[in-house]
């Protein structure tokens, strides 16, 4: 009976709840000129005639109307009518921009300033957009060196038409070019050291590309912060770096002057470590570089925290907390304390991957150095993160642990954000070997040949390139699978075509075929590679513009060559672009006759050593030796013979002009080659290095003939430019030993690359 009463009471309560009224009409009222139509306002609302009225939907309608960008104020309310509700929308619209005017502009064309503005005739007047546009105009002036220029704006309203005329008022000043960086008060450090800590650079010969010498207030503010951090990290905790001043030198030339009050240098009085149980105190102290009596550095203290975290993280102590605190210990002395909360050791339960909308899971997992059931080694997790970043597939890679229901177990979460991995490039270049050349190239570093139409996500590398120049034509299509059969063996292949006239003045050479290769790393610095090529050679157009010998005339024709090449590489260079330290060793052996009519073999050994000297001087030694021979003891084809000369080896000589020649002075190559280069490069200014070098080498007609009777050598100077468009290398070599066919004058050798 009681249950029945409760049921009836519930029904009665539901029956008494008022039902939301139905919207019978929507009326739009304007507070001011109606610059937005009623139809557009209603179209941006979810409240509709015939639907139930809802306060929640009305709130959403208000947000949507504001988001259109044309409304400055809005109110929506309901008015009861006999059969429902009438919705009233009161709107105050923003003024419409009728005109945009510039005053005081003489340094730029007004059309250039208008180009990137958000405020345009016909757009809604928006104060936030006006400020953004003001900053854009100011930035254009600053980037051109007019750093003291001021930009303001005013708005003239016409209430009758709800329109606005916007005027940007520019107060131009003269251009300021930074020609010198001056430091005052720097008693402890030389100006040269401080210049390395800042980004602002004086004008130099490359400023038309690098933009150095321009007065950039944001960059200068960052420089002040960098100088302060530099001093503090050298113990000058109380350093005061004043706002720099512009000191006019002559005309638009000025020095940027940094005033520095160094203060006292602080030292460490005592270092203490507390909360150590897993390791011995000595083991933890060995990871800390801050020492008693040493210079106090906030950066070093932070690095010490990271070192302790790495020490524990390698043992799976993911939850370790390291607090570093300082306290005064007397006159210019501080005590440094590290307090540890070790937490517990953790193992990995699952590896979860998120965010890979294109890249396959296995492509990511094979780069992760830890797996389920293994110790949660934070050092290996960091290695995994670095590997994924090095793929260049993702704009962001995050790794973090999360709790599980299993004690002592954590999930490793890997969150990635995909980015574009394909590119389409075209450009032009010029070198002393190739002359003028243009190219078109398509690359995809995350290719998937098994995923038609999209062709991304498989971790393969695809490249297609066509280049045409005054002395060559090339085409190549290549594909590489870096993890063949899910093993860390890179397997690839390419189809190619080459046709050149720069190899000789009296004949042209055509080459096409395909290559299959495999590469396997056998250590941190070593690898082996195998290549099998089947290719067709053609020596043709044996007329040129001069005389030639029967050796060259008899070489004309078609050749088929099948060859196997093995290469062992050892490479410890710190950079492939500007190497300062390290060694490189490549040993290559090839044999042909595995298909085709060319039957020869050869060896080549290349070694290089790079030594970093004081003042960023880089000394390098490079040596190479090789030989080639025919299996039947006969003649090696012209295209397999060895040559020297040109921008890549003996720079005082023309390309391929060192070595045996016919009676008319045409290079015919040799069977044995050796060369060596000693080079010293030195910094001139940022992005510019000078070079002095010595090259020597020989090419002999017989195989395994390493006699030096045909030695050639040169000395020279050069310049290395690191430009945004790519590296530029210019050398001038002068022969000091030469054969009778080599001219005595010096040679310019250069490579210039342009990227569009």
DSSP 443-472: EEEEE-TTSTTT-BSS-EEEEEEEEEESSE
Q: How sure is the predictor about 217, in pLDDT bands with cuts at 50, 70 and 90?
A: confident
pLDDT for residue 534: 97
Task: Provide the 3-class DSSP secondary structure of residue 296.
Answer: coil
Q: Is the pLDDT of residue 168 over 70?
A: yes
- Contact, 336 vs 268, CB < 8 A? yes
What CA–CA distance (Å, rounded) separates 275 from 341?
6
pLDDT for residue 7 is more than 50:
no
- Cα dihedral 210, 211, 212, 216 in deg (nearest 10): -140
DSSP 485: G
Domain range list for the chain:
20-93, 96-171, 177-261, 267-341, 347-418, 503-755
Taking a C-beta distance cutoff of 8 angstroms, is the pair 429, 452 a contact?
no
- Cβ contacts of residue 81 below 8 Å, gap of 6+? 24, 25
Asked if the model's pLDDT at residue 481 lies above 80, the reply is yes
Instruction: Please state, in angstroms and rounded to a whole number, the distance separating the CA atoms of residues 578 and 447.
Output: 29
Pairing of strands 267-274, 617-630: unpaired
pLDDT of residue 10: 43
The pLDDT value recorded for residue 523 is 86
Give dist(CA 432, CA 654) in Å, integer: 9
Task: Determine the average pLDDT of the residues in 369-392.
Answer: 94
The confidence band for 752, taking pLDDT boundaries of 50, 70 and 90, is low
The average pLDDT across 584-609 equals: 96
pLDDT bucket at 205, cuts 50 / 70 / 90: confident
The two beta strands, 96-103 and 163-171, are parallel
Q: Is the pLDDT of residue 12 over 60?
A: no
Task: Give the range with max mean pLDDT: 203-207, 551-555, 568-572.
Answer: 568-572
pLDDT attached to residue 546: 61
Q: Does the structure show a pLDDT above 50 at 13?
A: no
CB atoms inside a 10 Å sphere around CB 584: 19
Report whether pLDDT(1) > 80: no
The span from the CA of 727 to the CA of 721, in Å, is 6
Asked if residue 753 has pLDDT above 70, the reply is no
Mean of pLDDT values over 226-230: 96
Per cent of the chain over pLDDT 70 is 95
Across 253-393, the runs of DSSP E, i.e. the strands, are: 253-261, 267-274, 321-328, 333-341, 347-354
- Three-class DSSP labels, 534-572: EEEEEEECCCCCCCCCHHHHCCCEEEEEEEEEEEEEEEC
Beta strand segments in 82-176, E:
84-93, 96-103, 150-158, 163-171
Rg (CA), the chain: 37
Q: What are the structure tokens assigned to 123, written together?
A: 């757009």
pLDDT one-digit tens code per residue, 47-77: 999 899 988 899 999 988 888 878 888 999 8
Long-range pairs for 686-689: beta carbons < 8 A, 24 or more residues apart: 686/201, 686/204, 686/210, 686/212, 687/206, 687/210, 687/721, 687/722, 687/723, 688/204, 688/205, 688/206, 688/719, 688/720, 688/721, 688/722, 689/719, 689/720, 689/722
**pLDDT class for 114, splitting at 50, 70, 90?**
confident
Per the structure block, which two tokens stand in for 220?
Answer: 């200068």
Question: Which CB contacts under 8 angstroms, 24+ apart, belong to 637-640?
Answer: 637/537, 637/555, 637/559, 637/598, 637/600, 638/509, 638/539, 638/552, 638/555, 638/668, 638/669, 639/509, 639/511, 639/537, 639/539, 639/559, 640/592, 640/598, 640/600, 640/602
CATH architecture classification, 96-171: Roll (3.10)
Tell me, yes or no, if the pTM score tops 0.75.
no
pLDDT score at 126: 79
- Tell me the mean pLDDT in the region 518-525: 92
Question: What are 704-723's pLDDT values in tens digits?
Answer: 999 988 899 999 999 998 87
Provide mean pLDDT across the span 424-437.
74
Question: What is the side-by-side order of every strand in the sheet holding 163-171?
Answer: 96-103, 163-171, 150-158
The dihedral through the CA atoms of 544, 549, 552, 553 has a sign that is positive
Q: How confident is the model at residue 426 (pLDDT cuts 50, 70, 90)?
A: confident
Q: Does position 207 have pLDDT exceeding 80, yes or no? A: no
Dihedral, 233, 234, 239, 242 alpha carbons, nearest 10: -80
Write out the two tokens for 604. Answer: 């080549």
Label residue 295 exposed, middle or buried (CB < 10 Å: 0-12, 13-18, 19+).
middle
Secondary element (H or E) of residue 425: strand 422-431
Question: Strand, coil or helix: what is 637?
Answer: coil
Residue 583 has pLDDT above 80, yes or no: yes
Residue at token pair 């890179």:
490
Closest CA to 211 of 286, 139, 111, 271: 139
Confidence label for 95 from pLDDT (cuts 50, 70 and 90): confident
The token pair that represents 32 in the structure block: 């001011």
Pick the CATH number of 20-93 from 2.20.25.240, 3.30.420.40, 1.20.120.1770, 3.10.20.310: 3.10.20.310
Closest listed residue to residue 233, CA positions, set 325, 323, 301 = 301
Q: What is the dihedral of CA 638, 641, 644, 647, to 10 degrees?
A: 70
Instruction: Pick 517 or 218 by higher pLDDT.
Output: 517
Q: Is 653 helix (H, G, I), strand (E, B) or coil?
A: coil
Residue 740 confidence (pLDDT): 67
Which CATH number applies to 503-755? 2.40.160.50
At 250, the pLDDT band (50, 70, 90 cuts) reads confident
**H or E segment at 282?**
helix 281-286
Handedness of CA 443, 446, 448, 454 (dihedral sign): negative
Average the pLDDT over 371-381 and give the result: 95
pLDDT for position 756: 30
Rounded to whole angstroms, the Cα distance separating 557 from 694 reads: 39
CATH fold label, 267-341: Ubiquitin-like (UB roll) (3.10.20)
| pLDDT of 435 strictly over 80 | no
Top CATH class of 177-261 equals alpha beta
Task: Give the chain's length.
Answer: 756
pLDDT tier, 593 (very low <50, low <70, confident <90, very high otherwise): very high
Q: What is the mean pLDDT of residues 659-670?
A: 88
List pLDDT tens digits, range 306-362.
999 999 999 999 999 999 999 999 999 999 999 999 999 999 999 999 999 999 999
Span 577-582, mean pLDDT?
A: 90
Best CA proximity match to 168, nearest among 200, 203, 136, 208 = 136
Question: In this structure, are residues 277 and 341 in contact, taking their beta carbons and an 8 Å threshold?
Answer: no
Burial 219-230 (b: 16+ CB within 10 A, else e): ebeebbebbbeb
What are 229's two structure tokens? 């951090």
Mean pLDDT of the residues in the chain: 89
Q: Residue 57: which H helix or E strand, with range?
A: helix 55-67
pLDDT for position 544 = 56
Type and span of the H or E element at 3: helix 2-16
| Position 542 confidence tier, pLDDT thresholds 50, 70, 90 | confident
pLDDT of residue 695: 97
544, 506 in Cβ contact below 8 A? Answer: yes
Per DSSP, the chain holds a count of helices (H) and strands (E) of: 13, 32
* Residue 240 confidence (pLDDT): 96
As to burial, measured by CB atoms within 10 angstroms (0-12 exposed, 13-18 middle, 19+ buried), residue 647 is buried
Question: CATH: 3.40.50.970, 2.40.128.130, 3.90.550.10, 3.10.20.310. Which one for 347-418?
Answer: 3.10.20.310
Which of 458, 479, 480, 541 minimizes the C-alpha distance to 505?
Answer: 541
pLDDT at 725: 63
**Phi-psi bin for 388: left (phi > 0), alpha (psi -120 to 50), beta?**
alpha
Strand 245-250 and strand 253-261: pairing? antiparallel
| Dihedral sign, Cα of residue 328, residue 333, residue 335, residue 336 | positive
Q: What H or E segment, with its residue span, contains residue 281? A: helix 281-286
- Domains 96-171 and 503-755 in one fold: no
pLDDT confidence band for 551 (50 / 70 / 90): confident
- Please report the pLDDT score of residue 8 as a whole number: 40
Distance, CA of 747 to CA of 476 (rounded, Å): 32
Contact 675, 697 (CB under 8 A): yes
């Amino acid at each position: 009976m009681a249950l029945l009463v409760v049921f009836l009471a519930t029904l009665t309560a539901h029956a008494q709840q008022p039902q939301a009224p139905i919207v019978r009409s929507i009326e739009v009222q304007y507070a001011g000129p109606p610059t937005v139509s009623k139809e557009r306002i209603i179209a941006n609302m979810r409240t509709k005639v015939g639907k139930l009225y809802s306060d929640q939907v009305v709130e959403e309608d208000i947000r949507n109307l504001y988001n259109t960008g044309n409304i400055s104020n809005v109110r929506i309310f309901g008015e009861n009518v006999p059969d429902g509700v009438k919705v009233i929308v009161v709107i105050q619209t923003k003024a419409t921009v009728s005109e945009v005017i510039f005053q005081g502009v003489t340094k730029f064309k007004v059309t250039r300033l208008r180009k990137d503005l958000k405020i345009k005739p016909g757009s809604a007047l928006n104060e936030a957009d006006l400020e953004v546009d003001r900053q854009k105009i100011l930035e254009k002036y600053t980037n051109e060196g007019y750093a003291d220029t001021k930009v303001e704006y005013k708005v003239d309203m016409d209430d009758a038409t709800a329109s606005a005329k916007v005027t940007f008022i520019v107060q131009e000043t003269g251009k300021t070019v930074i020609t010198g960086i001056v430091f005052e008060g720097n008693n402890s450090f030389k100006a040269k050291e401080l210049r390395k800590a800042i980004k602002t650079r004086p004008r130099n010969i490359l400023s038309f590309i690098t933009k150095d010498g321009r007065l950039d207030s944001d960059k200068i503010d960052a420089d002040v912060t960098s100088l302060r951090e530099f001093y503090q990290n050298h113990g000058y905790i109380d350093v005061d770096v004043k706002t720099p001043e512009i000191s006019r030198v002559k005309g638009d030339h000025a020095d940027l002057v940094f005033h520095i009050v160094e203060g006292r240098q602080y030292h460490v009085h005592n270092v203490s470590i507390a909360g150590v149980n897993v390791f011995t105190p000595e083991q933890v102290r060995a990871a800390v570089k801050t020492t008693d009596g040493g210079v106090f550095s906030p950066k070093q203290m932070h690095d010490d925290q990271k070192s302790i975290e790495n020490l524990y993280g390698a043992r799976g102590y993911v939850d370790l907390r390291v607090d570093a605190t300082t306290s005064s210990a007397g006159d210019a002395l501080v005590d440094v304390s590290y307090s540890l909360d070790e937490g517990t050791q953790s193992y990995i339960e699952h590896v979860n991957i998120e965010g890979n909308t294109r890249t396959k899971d296995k492509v990511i997992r094979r780069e992760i150095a830890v797996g389920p059931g293994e110790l949660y080694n934070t050092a290996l997790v960091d290695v995994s993160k670095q590997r994924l970043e090095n793929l260049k597939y993702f704009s962001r890679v995050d790794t973090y642990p999360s709790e599980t229901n299993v004690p002592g177990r954590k999930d490793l979460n890997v969150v990635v954000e995909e980015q574009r991995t394909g590119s389409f490039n075209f450009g032009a270049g010029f070198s002393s070997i190739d002359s003028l050349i243009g190219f078109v190239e398509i690359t995809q570093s995350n290719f998937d040949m098994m995923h038609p139409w999209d062709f991304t996500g498989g971790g393969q590398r695809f490249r297609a390139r066509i280049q045409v120049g005054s002395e060559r034509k090339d085409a190549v299509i290549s594909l590489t699978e870096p993890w063949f059969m899910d093993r860390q063996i890179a397997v690839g292949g390419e189809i190619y075509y080459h046709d050149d006239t720069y190899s000789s003045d009296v004949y042209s050479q055509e080459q096409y075929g395909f290559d299959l290769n495999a590469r396997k790393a056998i250590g941190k610095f070593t690898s082996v590679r195998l290549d099998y090529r089947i290719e067709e050679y053609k020596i043709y157009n044996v007329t040129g513009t001069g005389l030639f010998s029967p050796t060259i005339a008899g070489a004309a024709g078609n050749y088929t060559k099948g060859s196997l090449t093995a290469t062992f590489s050892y490479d410890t260079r710190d950079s492939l672009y500007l190497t300062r330290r390290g060694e490189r060793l490549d040993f290559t052996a090839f044999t042909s006759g595995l298909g085709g009519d060319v039957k020869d073999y050869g060896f080549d050994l290349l070694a290089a050593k790079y030594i970093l000297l004081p003042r960023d001087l880089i000394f390098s030694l490079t040596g190479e030796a090789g030989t080639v021979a025919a299996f039947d003891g006969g003649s090696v084809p012209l295209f397999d013979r060895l040559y020297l000369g040109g921008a890549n080896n003996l720079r005082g000589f023309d390309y391929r002009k060192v070595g045996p020649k016919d009676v008319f002075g045409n290079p015919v190559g040799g069977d044995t080659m050796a060369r060596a280069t000693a080079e010293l490069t030195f910094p001139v200014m940022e992005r510019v290095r000078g070079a002095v070098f010595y090259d020597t080498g020989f090419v002999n007609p017989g195989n395994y003939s390493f006699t030096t009777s045909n030695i050639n050598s040169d000395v020279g100077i050069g310049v290395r430019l690191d430009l945004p468009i790519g590296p530029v290398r210019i050398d001038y070599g002068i022969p000091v030993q030469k054969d009778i066919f080599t001219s005595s004058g010096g040679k310019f050798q250069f490579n210039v690359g342009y990227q569009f």
